[in-house]
């Protein structure tokens, strides 16, 4: 693979992936284009990942490091996720078993809050074996006047243009993410369009298209880990998850000022470079426009949405999640297979 410029060979140059974890998954490169290259909008309109370079979308946030945030938000308590190891598995608290059952659920990650200064101290003094920390803070008026000013100076014209030409719905939130080196957000999908921006450090993202749903084995929709792959990428259990061996991914390294477009329903695993400084990223989550008139053939993400709705309806109708598998097997086995 020659190291030519992205614009010449369609962004296929190899990324330098030293410092990231090795998985036994075949990976292609996510194409990388300059922000003014027309191919960027071609990929977004086809709902395919693309890495966009050289945009000034969040120029005013490029100075957001922990010193600056500590100085301009000295007393704010920020949300910090704490994990026993490098995996930060999202837990939907609303779907945790209530009552006495709840103490059976081994809580791998928990939420805490602290100031940016405390967070900085903790990650500076971190040593192997300590709990790991991941700061995530929704950007809203609580981040204080200075960060609000920086936020208002984003290149909203560029973002609004993307939102308009691709028919996205409203911007729902911006999540500011400050991660220790080596933290991993395990593979999952979200139901929103995502412009994921690098501010500091390097993050590696592994993506799979929605149609590989049957290779990545999400748990039942009622599970607290809904939308997350059950497969441990570092030690895949191919007896339980045999089709994981057929998973084919794409990879991108998101550096300072890069924007990775993560299409809705695309699976993504994101990790911060190991033995490197902490990373700072910011995402832009957009609802997608409600499907006015259904067009056939259906897109793969629409089929995943259909599967989710069927699963919810059957579980709701049976009022007992344990009966769902039996009923679905009776529907399909020997009849559609």
Do 60 and 153 form a contact (C-beta atoms < 8 A)? Answer: yes
Closest CA relative to residue 301, chosen from 268, 267, 329, 331: 267
Residue 65 or 190: which CB sits closer to Zn ion?
Answer: 190
Residue 171 or 310: which CB sits closer to ligand QVZ?
Answer: 171
Q: How far is CA 216 from its chain centroid?
A: 15
Give the number of residues in contact with ligand QVZ, rule: CB under 6 A: 15
CB of 103 to Zn ion, least distance (A): 29
Describe the strand order of the beta sheet including 267-272 as a list of residue ranges: 27-29, 249-254, 203-208, 267-272, 184-188
CB of 266 to ligand QVZ, least distance (A): 10
CB of 268 to Zn ion, least distance (A): 6
Q: Which of residues 20-79 bind Zn ion (CB under 5 A)?
A: none
Long-range contacts of 212-217 (CB under 8 A, 24+ apart): 212/246, 212/247, 212/248, 212/267, 213/304, 213/307, 214/243, 215/243, 215/244, 215/246, 215/247, 216/187, 216/244, 216/247, 216/267, 217/241, 217/243, 217/244
Helix (H) or strand (E) holding 302: helix 300-318
Closest CA relative to residue 263, chosen from 48, 41, 35, 30: 48
Q: Which of residues 190-229 bind Zn ion (CB under 5 A)?
A: 190
Strand segments, DSSP code E, in 35-131 are 50-53, 78-83, 109-114
Helix (H) or strand (E) holding 169: strand 168-179
Residue 33 or 285: which CB sits closer to ligand QVZ?
Answer: 285
Among 20, 88, 151, 278, binds ligand QVZ (CB under 6 A): 88
Residue 71 or 130: which CB sits closer to ligand QVZ?
Answer: 130
Residue 267 or 278: which CB sits closer to Zn ion?
Answer: 267
Closest CA relative to residue 108, chosen from 12, 182, 185, 17: 185
- Asked whether position 80 contacts ligand QVZ by CB under 6 A, the answer is no
Residue 58 interacting entry, from ligand QVZ, Zn ion, none, C-beta within 5 to 8 Å by type: none
Helix (H) or strand (E) holding 9: helix 6-9
CB of 156 to Zn ion, least distance (A): 23
Q: Which of residues 130-189 bind ligand QVZ (CB under 6 A)?
A: 134, 136, 175, 177, 185
- Asked whether position 126 contacts ligand QVZ by CB under 6 A, the answer is no
- Site pattern 264..303 for ligand QVZ (x: CB under 6 A): ----x-x----------x-x--------------------
Long-range contacts of 327-330 (CB under 8 A, 24+ apart): none
Residue 221 interacting entry, from ligand QVZ, Zn ion, none, C-beta within 5 to 8 Å by type: none
Residue 134 interacting entry, from ligand QVZ, Zn ion, none, C-beta within 5 to 8 Å by type: ligand QVZ
- Binding segment (CB under 6 A) for ligand QVZ, from list 23-31, 61-69, 190-198, 230-238: 190-198
* Residue 157: strand, helix, or coil: helix
What is the contact surface with Zn ion in residues (CB under 5 A)? 190
What is the contact surface with ligand QVZ in residues (CB under 6 A)? 81, 88, 90, 134, 136, 175, 177, 185, 190, 194, 196, 268, 270, 281, 283
């Amino acid at each position: 693979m020659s190291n030519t410029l992205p614009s010449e060979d369609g962004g296929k140059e190899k990324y330098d992936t030293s410092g990231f974890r090795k998985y036994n998954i075949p990976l292609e490169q996510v194409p990388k284009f300059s922000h003014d290259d027309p191919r960027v909008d071609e990929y977004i309109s086809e709902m395919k990942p693309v890495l966009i370079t050289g945009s000034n979308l969040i120029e005013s946030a490029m100075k957001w490091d922990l010193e600056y945030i500590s100085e301009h938000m000295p007393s704010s308590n920020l949300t910090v996720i704490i994990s026993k190891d490098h995996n930060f598995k999202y837990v939907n608290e609303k779907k945790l078993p209530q009552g006495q059952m709840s103490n059976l659920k081994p809580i791998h990650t928990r939420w805490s809050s602290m100031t940016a200064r405390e967070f900085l101290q903790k990650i500076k003094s971190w040593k192997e074996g300590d709990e790991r920390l991941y700061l995530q803070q929704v950007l809203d008026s609580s981040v204080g006047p200075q960060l609000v000013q920086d936020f208002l100076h984003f290149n909203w014209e560029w973002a609004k243009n993307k939102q308009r030409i691709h028919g996205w719905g409203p911007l729902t939130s911006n999540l500011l993410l400050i991660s220790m080196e080596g933290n991993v957000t395990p593979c999952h999908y979200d139901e929103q369009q995502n412009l994921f921006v690098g501010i500091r450090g390097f993050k590696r993202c592994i993506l799979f298209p929605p149609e590989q749903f049957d290779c990545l084995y999400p748990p039942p929709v009622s599970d607290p880990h809904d939308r997350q792959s059950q497969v441990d990428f570092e030690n895949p259990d191919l007896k339980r998850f045999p089709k994981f061996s057929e998973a084919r991914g794409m990879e991108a390294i998101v550096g300072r000022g890069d924007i990775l477009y993560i299409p809705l329903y695309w699976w993504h695993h994101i990790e911060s470079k190991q033995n490197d400084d902490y990373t700072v990223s910011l995402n832009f989550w957009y609802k997608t426009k409600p499907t006015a008139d259904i067009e056939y053939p259906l897109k793969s993400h629409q089929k995943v949405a259909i599967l989710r709705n069927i699963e919810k309806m059957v579980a709701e109708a049976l009022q007992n999640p344990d009966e769902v598998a039996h009923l679905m097997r009776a529907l399909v086995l020997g009849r559609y297979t």
